[in-house]
Amino acid sequence: MVAVFPWRVRNRGSSCGVGWNTGERWFARGVQSPRQDADRDVASLDELAREQAAVRRIQQAHRDHIESARRYATGLADEASFLSEEGPRETEAEVGDEDSEAAVEAATARAAAGRTLLAWKRVRELEAAGDALAFGRLTTDEWGTDYIGRMSVIDGDEVYLIDWRAPAAEPFYRATPLEPLGVSHRRHLHYTGSELTNYSDEVFDPNRIPENTTLRGEAALLEILAARSEGRMQSVVATIQAEQDAVIRASAKGPLLVQGGPGTGKTVVALHRAAYLLYADRAALAETGVLIVGPSPEFLTYISDVLPSLGESGVVSVTADRLFPGVLTNPDGSEEIAELKGSAPMADLLASAVNNRRRRPKEPLTVWYGSLRVVIPIELLERFVSLADRQTTHNAGSGVLRQLLVEHVAREAHEPGFGGRDDIRASLAHSPDISLFMERHWPVLSPEQMLNDLLGSRALLGRAVKAAGLDERSVGLLYRPRAREKELWRRRWDRSDVPLLDELLWLLGDVSEATDVETDMEHEFADEADVFTVDELRGDDPDIDGVDDEETLEPEPGEPEIESYDSWREGDEEEEWV
């Protein structure tokens, strides 16, 4: 690789025109006369003018694209407005299924409104990219010269600008003197506002540079580093280095940990990776999206301009204590406890705690449907539990297990000529036998209910702490009195509890993933009698090590009495876990 100074390349191989590397710095041989300096300046201005003309063509094509997108969005908006004029009547018809044609029209109106929103979102994304779209030019042996920028600009068959995230742009970041990747020349474009005012070059093969090319050897990266800060983090898409590009384009499979000292560019690389993933895996991320978690609102404000400048606006940014919306919080009272809740073993602790709420049945289940008694043998129950365990979340598995139980009883109870199975299913949705079985073996739980139960039981904490490899002292640090079920909605959580609730949402799934017709009744059982055995509350469970028997001899104040709850039987503490 050679770094060159701003004079025209004329005599290849001569002693003037190009410098070769003999150490850490580059030097050009030969002494330039005043006349040669003047010729160099004129040629340099001509080259800059050519680049400015190319940038103006890109900008004009982009503006035309914006206008086209705006016209399209406006047309969709007019269509949606026309279709929704009789929306209320059509929607009512759709619900009542009285007029299939009106129902189709109502659905069409809603679909048109959705398309309109997406179209206007695209317009905003195009406008947010600004005018300084192109930041580089790449000359390769195979494809010739291409411009690289913040987003693609294409008009018919004419490719004005290649998105920096596209595979074709990768050599712009990855090419090095030892591995040029077919690149002969790389140019960085520099702007003042939206006006191109300068450029700098890197030459990998001087013999492939056109004769009329005027090169400038200023370092693009140094220019960016010397630029005045505006109080907000700026995109570095024009100056991404090869090592950073490897991180940005790394596989999306599994977590990616980027480590480095302060000021080494970890955050800005992570933001550019988010933009890259939204480009490369847009279909996969269309429903899930990208979430950025920052340490403070000030930090999120500081980085807020980066992704919009890269053409991506569909990213949500939150602080850790806002990960789980809709709950009341208080500042953490103990730094030690907050640090424990934020440690890596807490993920294993929560996973173990959720798993501990699923119990394998030890005896047949008897379900009454009117005067009919249906007994489900233990072998079939175990099969149903195994099928439910294939679900990805706890609540989804609970829904599958309940559905299997209901279907089996409905099949056994159905008699031809005496109504359909739908009536039986509707009745079994409120079956106390099935609800009690589900609460004991696979309850439907919200994150708040799960964390409330866990932190409010030293026995459950002890089991989960042991599985996570934490010491016994962690039980006392994490324990706090359990709130009554009916008062849970107004409980104030510690701020360090919010990420735990978010993790539990991932493990449990939404309550709606399970059949929720009977949910209120199930948690009434939990509220009146809790779901823990006396042995669990007293710490007599032999599987829990390190729980002080004297400390937990009696249930904690405020915990429900459970002596009359006859669903728990002797030996529960020895039952198997799913």
Rounded distance, CA 39 to CA 36, Å?
A: 5
In the numeric block, which tokens belong to residue 306?
A: 């980066």
Helix, strand counts (H, E) of the chain: 22, 14
- How far is the CA of 577 from the CAs of 356, 511, 530, in angstroms? 6, 22, 19
pLDDT the model gives residue 286: 66
Q: Six-digit token pair at 318?
A: 């939150």
Q: Residue 467 CB: number of other CB atoms within 10 A? A: 16
C-beta separation of 312 from 201 below 8 A: no
Q: What is the DSSP string of 494-513?
A: EGGGHHHHHHHHHHH--GGG
User: What backbone phi and psi angles, to 5 degrees, belong to 288?
Assistant: -85, -40
According to the model, what pLDDT value does residue 299 have? 86
Q: What are the beta bridge partners of residue 186?
A: 138, 202
Burial (0-12, 13-18, 19+ Cβ within 10 Å), 77: middle
Write out the H or E segment, with its range, that includes residue 163. strand 158-163
**Ramachandran area for residue 345 (φ above 0: left; ψ -120 to 50: alpha; else beta):** alpha
Work out the number of other CB atoms within 10 angstroms of the CB of residue 353: 24
Whether the CA torsion 2, 8, 12, 16 is positive or negative: it is negative
The phi-psi region of residue 218 (left if phi > 0; otherwise alpha if psi is between -120 and 50; otherwise beta) is beta
CB 146 within 8 A of CB 156: no
Q: State which residues of the chain have pLDDT below 70.
A: 1-44, 85-103, 206-239, 286-287, 311, 313-314, 417-419, 515-578
SS3 27: strand
C-alpha span between 319 and 317 (Å, rounded): 7
Count of alpha carbons within 13 angstroms of residue 314, beta-carbon side: 18
DSSP per residue, 86-105: THHHHHHHHHHTS-HHHHHH
Look at the block and give the residue holding tokens 């440690």: 343
Phi, psi at 346, each rounded to 5°: -65, -30
Query: What are the structure tokens assigned to 99, written together?
Result: 């007029």
Identify which of 494, 475, 468, 498 has the alpha carbon closest to the alpha carbon of residue 552: 475
Number of residues written out for the chain: 578
In 3D space, the residue among 438, 443, 471, 476 whose CA is nearest the CA of residue 457 turns out to be 476
d(CA 220, CA 241): 11
Which of 248, 60, 29, 224 lies closest to 136, judged by CA? 224
Q: What's the Cα-to-Cα distance from 31 to each of 17, 26, 34, 35, 155, rounded to whole Å?
A: 10, 15, 10, 12, 47
In this structure, are residues 318 and 502 in contact, taking their beta carbons and an 8 Å threshold? no
- Give the largest CA-CA distance in the chain: 111
Quote the tokens at residue 199: 């450029």
Neighbours of 331 (CB within 10 A): 9
Q: Which residues of 140-178 are buried (b: 16+ CB within 10 A; e: fewer)?
A: beeeeebbbbbbbbeeeeeebbbbbbeebbebbbbbeee
Measured distance CA(60)–CA(58) in Å, rounded: 5
Residues whose CB is less than 8 angstroms from the CB of residue 179 and which lie 6 or more positions away in sequence, other chains included = none
What's the rounded Cα separation, in Å, for the pair 360 and 378?
A: 10
**Helix residue spans in 374-516 (DSSP H):** 378-388, 394-413, 421-428, 432-441, 447-455, 458-468, 473-478, 498-508
Q: Which of 538, 531, 541 is nearest to 568 (CA)?
A: 531
Give the residue ranges of DSSP H helices in 4-99. Answer: 34-83, 87-96
Q: Which two tokens stand for residue 476?
A: 């006392």
Q: How far apart are the first and last CA of the chain?
A: 62
pLDDT score, position 110: 82
Q: What are the CA-CA distances from residue 533 to residues 368, 475, 529 (Å)? A: 25, 18, 10
pLDDT at position 429 is 84
pTM of the entire structure?
Answer: 0.59
For residue 213, what are its two tokens?
């090319």
Q: Which of 314, 382, 346 is nearest to 496 (CA)?
A: 346
φ and ψ of 197, to 5 deg: -125, -10
- Amino acid in the structure at residue 450: M
For strands 144-149 and 158-163, give the pairing: parallel
